[in-house]
């Protein structure tokens, strides 16, 4: 739910922005019985902290990764040690030093994703020299481009 920006409104309905998602539709997508979805929503709404979190989630907007090549954009995915500090700073510095504009960045949270990555959409494909520099960042473990 978090990854897709689904939230729960004050009426206890699952929504994405202003669009309501039925319990049955979500249960089919998750591979569970619809009663599991409803029970989970009720438990969330009964817990003040969880209610605050799930009523506050908002969709982040369109993520360009899958359509970037069709638009002529570059895609760089960076994996780093989960406790690394400054990865976004160093990666974006090397890209901007090469005169490449960044259109979008998505940094996955290591607390929410077991294999987090930093995905950067750029105006143009990122050249090999920049990729080589990214691999010199001490906490970076892998870089891939498309």
Residues found in the chain? 146
Sequence spans of domains, the chain:
7-56, 68-145
CATH class (in words) of the domain with range 68-145 = alpha beta
Please state the pTM of the whole predicted model.
0.75
The 10s digit of each residue's pLDDT in 5-50 is 899 999 999 999 999 999 999 999 999 999 999 999 999 999 999 9
Contacts of 107 (CB under 8 A, 6+ apart): 88, 116, 118, 119
Residue 32 DSSP label:
S
């Amino acid at each position: 739910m978090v990854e897709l920006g689904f939230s729960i409104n004050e009426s206890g309905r699952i929504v994405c922005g202003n669009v309501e998602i039925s319990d049955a539709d979500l249960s089919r997508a998750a591979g569970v019985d619809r009663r599991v979805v409803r029970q989970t929503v009720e438990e969330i709404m009964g817990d003040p902290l969880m209610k605050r979190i799930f009523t506050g989630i908002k969709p982040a907007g369109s993520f360009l990764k899958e359509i970037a090549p069709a638009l002529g954009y570059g895609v760089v995915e960076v994996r780093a040690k989960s406790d690394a500090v400054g990865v976004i700073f160093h990666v974006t510095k090397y890209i901007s030093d090469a005169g490449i504009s960044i259109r979008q960045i998505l940094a996955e949270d290591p607390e929410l994703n077991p294999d987090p990555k930093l995905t950067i959409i750029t105006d143009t494909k990122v050249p090999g020299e920049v990729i080589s520099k990214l691999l010199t960042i001490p906490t970076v473990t892998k870089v891939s481009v498309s």
